Amino acid sequence: MIRVSLTLLIFIYLAVFLTVIFSLWIWAEWSRQRRERRAVRHRIRCAMCAFAFEDPSETPLPRCPRCGSLNERDPFGGL
């Protein structure tokens, strides 16, 4: 009787522990991805010369500083 309840206790402890670890991991991964997405939101890779540059403005067609061609803003970061 005691052994069964002890086993159950250990099982519950492990389940709670794993759940906490798993949710912390998911949360850390989610916040890391959100931070990276925010960091690369204004990063554009030129379609003509593959030059990566930052464009903080909200113009729909930012101009490449190296070759001067217009680039479409990639919603996924352009990388």
Partners of 44 in beta bridges:
53
Q: Which is nearer to Zn ion, 21 or 52 (CB)?
A: 52
Other Cβ atoms less than 10 A from the Cβ of 79: the count is 10
- The residue among 39 and 67 lying less far from Zn ion, judged by its C-beta, is 67
Find the shortest distance in angstroms from Cβ 76 to Zn ion.
19
Residue with Cβ nearer Zn ion (8 or 65) = 65
- Please list the alpha-helical segments (H only) found in the chain: 2-39
Integer angstrom CA distances of residue 30 from 16, 27, 34, 37, 74: 21, 5, 6, 11, 21
For the CB of residue 37, give the shortest distance to Zn ion in the complex, in Å. 23
Q: How far is the CB of 42 from Zn ion (least distance, A)?
A: 16
Interaction site with Zn ion (CB under 5 A): 46, 48-49, 51, 64, 66-67
